[in-house]
Chain A
Amino acid sequence: MSAIHLQNLVKRFGAFTALKTMDLSIADGEFMALLGPSGCGKSTTMNMIAGMEAPTEGRILFGERDMTTVPMGRRGVGFVFQNFAIFTHMTVRQNLDYGLRMTRRPKAEIARRTEAMAEMLGLSGMLDRRATGLSVNILQRLAIGRSAMMEPAIFLLDEPLSNVDAAFRAVMRTELKSLQRQFRQTMVYVTHDQLEAMTMADRIAVMDHGVLQQVGTPLEVYNDPANTFVAKFIGSPGMNLLPGRLIHGDGALHVDLGPLGVSAPLPGPLAQAAGRSKREVIYGFRPEGVQLAPDAPLALPLGVTERIGARTILHLGNGDSAVRAVFQASDAVPAEAILRFTPDPTSVRLFEAAGGNAIRGA
């Protein structure tokens, strides 16, 4: 079991910088999600931890040992590929015991450990079957089992659920999480699906265009996003972000949101912090924090209504003044063309217009 420390990690491919100066520490036994859109550098980071790519600058440590130059077969990491990379020309058993065979463990030991692993993963019945034409569920278990046989201190998973259809994904997420709790391994999980990260991770590292945006527990990145990117990326749907200007009115600080109207007064600590910043700000609030009231200060036309089971999502306005509001299916939604609304004060966040960093209260 081991902690991972990434220090000043940089990766360049010719003129293109895939990863810019990343510093990240992953605790022993922690489930850390590397979350971000395609091309943000999460897979590159993971490939460097595994040893499949060498960093251009910086160091990678497992615990106290510098692994930066250690070849990939010797790092003691387990890796699950996006399409599982099962050896389809071998049997299930041969896949499971591959690592042990290559490192020349005694035959009796190999057999014993393979059967124990197969038992634990529910694969005992198909050990001597060829590893082709298997369902995705089985492939996932086999891929994890194969790596787990080597008892790695660290487990790396590269978007293993992206090829799985939506219905199965929830089932496999649960399985994966319980396997991690069982093995108590340090796990690093790459994904572009924020729901997946929120469900499974102890902490999430949000990345964009090669830069680490924020690291924190799911609730930390949700409640206290460091910048507009994190605010928009986390949450289903992401935070509503509207450009506006700070103005004073009846002894309080408001945000003038142009065509939508002027916001309600900013809560105390936020107003204090805002008082020190520039006039142009970005006013943010979570879709779940929207309250409808006939006398509310903001207004927008109602567009599409999505009723997706337990939740109803209202799409108000569009373009720069698009707002999404989430209600429970049981809540009544007025059928008017223009809706008046205001966010719950505890859900309001402010960000600098230039650069998008959060303006935080004391």
Chain B
Amino acid sequence: MAEITFEGVTKRFGSTLAVDDASFTVRDNEFFCIFGPPLSGKTTLLRLLLGLDRPDAGRILIDGKDVTDIGPAARNIAMVFQNLALFPHMTARDNVCFPLVERKIPPAQIAARLSEVAGKLHITHILHKHPGQLSGGERQRVAIARALVRDPAAHLMDDPISALDARLREEARVELKRMQREAGRTLIYVTHDQEEAMSVADRMAILEAGKIRQIGTPTDLYDRPGSAYVACLLGAPVMNLTAPGLFPGLPGAAQVGVRPEDLRLNPDPAGAAEVTWVEPLGGYTVLTLKAGEESLRVLLRGQPSFAPGLRVSLSADQSRLHHFDAHGQRLAG
């Protein structure tokens, strides 16, 4: 296991700047998430780390060693691809053992590793089948098993669970987190699902158009976003951004942000806002409010009875307000 460092890495494809001066360090045994909207450079970063592409500037270090000029085979990184890339003509067992057979590991060791990994991922009963006979979820686990069976410096995963049903995704991400903890591996994980990223990551990097905007623990990024961009990427429903007025803004604030769960409502015939839509989601309820020109969303626990048309007054704790300047950057305070 090893530390992975990117120093000032830049990559262009033709005239497009795919990765712009990326610098970050992934610590040993860390579950590190790379998160951002589509085409923000996430997959390019992975490819650079794997060695499939060469940076135009900067260095990549694995465990202190400069690997920028070293090819993928020698970098000792294992990857699980988005489309899984399972060999269709081999059984699941042969797929999982493939990396070890390639490296001429003795059969006894292969068998031991296989049974360990297969047990952890609950695929022992399907090892004899071919990928074509497996369900989507089973194929995913076989692909992950194939990556886990090696002992590389780090694992890379590019959006491995997005193709699963919503319910399976929720369970899969907890399983992945548990596996990573137990196995003690460094895992770099790319996703565009903010809930997934916050759930699994020890730390995460947020990308925008090739630049790393902020790095930190999910809680740090959620509670203290450095920019309106980061603030709106994390959290569902999205943070409410209003012009100062409805809520007091610090001097210099062009926008005041408040998360839907931080808003307090009281029915008030003279209130500033009106309920326009109620979404009952069972464990919680999302209200859409109109306050003058602004549209806001509120997240309430349980199933309170608010009906459309009700006038309410809004308030929020000062400490839960976020202030951003005209450039979208966070104002201290």
Find B281's partner among A198, A306, A315 (CB 8 Å cutoff): A198
Q: Is A56 an interface residue (CB 8 A)?
A: no
Contact in complex: A194, B166 (CB < 8 Å): yes
Expressed in whole angstroms, the Cα–Cα distance for A304 and B261 within the complex equals 23
* Contact indicator per residue, chain A 1-45, by CB within 8 Å of chain B (1) or not (0): 000000000000000000000000000000000000110000000
Give the A interface residue count (CB, 8 A).
39
Q: Is B38 an interface residue (CB 8 A)?
A: yes
* Residues 130 to 176 of chain B near chain A (Cβ within 8 Å): 135-136, 162, 165-167, 170, 174
* Distance in angstroms between the alpha carbons of A235 and B165 in the assembled complex: 14
| Residue A288 is within 8 A (CB to CB) of chain B in the complex | yes
A195 close to B (CB within 8 Å): yes
Partner of B283, one of A38, A236, A330: A236
- Are B238 and A329 touching (Cβ within 8 A)? no
Contacts of A287 in B (CB 8 A): 283
From the candidates A165, A218, A233, A328, name the one contacting B38 in the complex (CB within 8 A): A165
Using known A-B contacts A307-B198, A308-B198, determine if residue A219 contacts B303 with beta carbons closer than 8 Å.
yes
The distance in angstroms between the C-alpha atoms of A315 and B199, with both chains bound, is 12
Residue of A nearest to B191 (CB): A166
- The answer to whether A288 and B198 touch across the interface, beta carbons within 8 angstroms, is no
Is B107 part of the binding interface, using a Cβ–Cβ cutoff of 8 Å?
no
B282 in the interface, Cβ–Cβ < 8 Å? yes
Q: For residue A203, which residues in chain B have a CB less than 8 angstroms away from its CB?
A: none
Q: Once the chains bind, are B279 and A199 in contact (CB under 8 Å)?
A: yes
Query: Chain B residues near A85 (CB, 8 Å)?
Result: none
How many chain B residues touch the partner (CB < 8 A)?
43
Tell me which of A195, A236, A308 has the highest count of chain B C-beta atoms within 10 A of its own C-beta: A308
Looking at the assembled complex, report how far the CB atom of B241 sits from the nearest CB atom of chain A, in whole angstroms. Answer: 15
Give the residues from 190 to 204 in chain B that come closer than 8 angstroms, CB to CB, to chain A: 192-196, 198-199
Verify A310–B261 contact, CB threshold 8 A: yes
Q: Are B166 and A193 in contact (CB under 8 A)?
A: yes
Determine if A326 is an interface residue (Cβ-Cβ < 8 Å).
Answer: yes
Determine the chain A residues whose CB is within 8 A of the CB of B192 once the complex forms: 165-167
Could you tell me if A218 and B281 are in contact, using CB atoms closer than 8 angstroms? yes
- What string of 1s and 0s marks CB contacts (under 8 Å) between B21-43 and chain A? 00000000000000001100000
- CB of A237 within 8 Å of the partner chain: yes
Contact present for A329 and B261 (CB under 8 Å): yes
Q: How far is the CB of A256 from chain B (nearest CB, A)?
A: 27
A333 at the interface (CB under 8 A from B): no
Interface presence of B51 (CB below 8 A): no
Binds A, one of B65-73, B228-236, B266-274: B228-236
Contact of B280 with A218 in the complex, beta carbons under 8 Å: yes
**Bound: A68/B135 CA distance, A:** 33
Contacts of A341 in B (CB 8 A): none
Question: A238 and B236: CB pair below 8 A?
Answer: no
Q: Give Cα A222 to B233, complex, Å.
A: 28
What is the bound-complex CA distance between A310 and B283, given in angstroms? 13
Q: How far is the CA of A287 from the CA of B37 in the complex (A)?
A: 30
Instruction: Say whether A309 contacts B283, CB under 8 Å.
Output: no
Please tell me if the beta carbons of B166 and A288 are within 8 angstroms of each other in the complex: no
Nearest CB to that of B303 among chain A residues?
A: A219
Chain A residues positioned under 8 Å from B181 (CB to CB): 304
Closest chain A residue to B135 by CB distance? Answer: A38
A303 at the interface (CB under 8 A from B): yes
Question: Is B214's beta carbon under 8 Å from chain A?
Answer: no
> Known contacts A165-B192, A309-B198, A328-B301: does B174 contact A315 (CB below 8 Å)?
yes
Q: How far is the CA of A306 from the CA of B222 in the complex (A)?
A: 13
- Complex Cα distance A170/B162, Å? 16
Residue of A nearest to B38 (CB): A165
Q: Are A304 and B282 in contact (CB under 8 A)?
A: no
User: B172-187: contact bitstring with A at CB < 8 Å (1 yes, 0 no)?
Assistant: 0010011001000000
Contact check, A288 vs B301: say whether CB atoms are below 8 A apart.
Answer: yes
Min CB distance A348 to B, Å, is: 15
- Are B280 and A304 interface neighbours, CB within 8 A? no
Q: B224-283: which have CB < 8 Å to A?
A: 233-238, 259-261, 279-283
| Nearest CB of chain A from residue B315's CB, rounded to whole Å | 15
Given contacts A219-B282, A326-B283, 15 further A-B contacts (CB under 8 A): A37-B167, A38-B165, A166-B193, A166-B195, A219-B280, A222-B282, A222-B283, A223-B282, A234-B282, A238-B167, A287-B283, A306-B198, A307-B219, A309-B195, A309-B234
- Using a CB–CB cutoff of 8 Å, the interface residues on chain A facing chain B are 37-38, 165-167, 170, 192-196, 198-199, 218-219, 222-223, 233-238, 286-288, 303-304, 306-310, 313, 315, 326, 328-330
Give 10 pairs: A residue, B residue, CB < 8 Å, sorted on A. Answer: A170-B236, A170-B237, A193-B165, A194-B167, A219-B282, A222-B280, A286-B282, A288-B301, A307-B198, A307-B199
B interface vs A, CB < 8 Å?
A: 37-38, 135-136, 162, 165-167, 170, 174, 177-178, 181, 192-196, 198-199, 218-219, 222, 233-238, 259-261, 279-284, 286, 299, 301-303
